[in-house]
Structure 1
Amino acid sequence: MKFTLTPDDPVFCGVRNRQRLAVIDGVADQSVVRTVVEHLGQKEKAVIVAKGVLPEAAQLLQELSPGSRVKKAPEDMFPKGTVN
């Protein structure tokens, strides 16, 4: 996805220009979206990648941060046995 890793950031794992990447090892729900958006800087947008995405989470993200995106992760992104 061509993001630069940000391992010391407590919320985001990558950055590309004014986009911040949040990878969720679980389901992106409304709570996840609110947390991610709260941590965005001015004029930043989020790309959220999660194992699952609830439709209401995608809708809320567009309302709170137009231009931000949420995507369902490919099956092989989180291999079995991965510990986070």
Structure 2
Amino acid sequence: MARFEIFEADTGSIGTAAQADVLCELGLMYATGRDCEIDMIAAHKWLNIAAIKGSLRAAQLRSELSATMSKQDIARALREAREWMTLH
């Protein structure tokens, strides 16, 4: 279970660094098939969001993952990440 830092008790928000770490782990989960089917598009999406939120590790992993993906799959992952960021 992940440990979250609570910065605002009334909203229950977790800190940006903690959120980026959780999203990075989600990307790794999809990339490795840990407790789910391997899904490189979802992995790239979550690593990209984590990188945007400041995770240097996620940025590096996203770069490595991108080298193994087609341009169409990368474009789809970027679209899905953009849609998620717009809604959240």
Q: TM-score range by the shorter chain?
A: 0.3 to 0.5
The TM-score normalised by the length of structure 1 is 0.34
The TM-score normalised by the length of structure 2 is 0.33
In proportion to residue count, which structure has more strand? Answer: 1
Greater C-alpha radius of gyration = 2
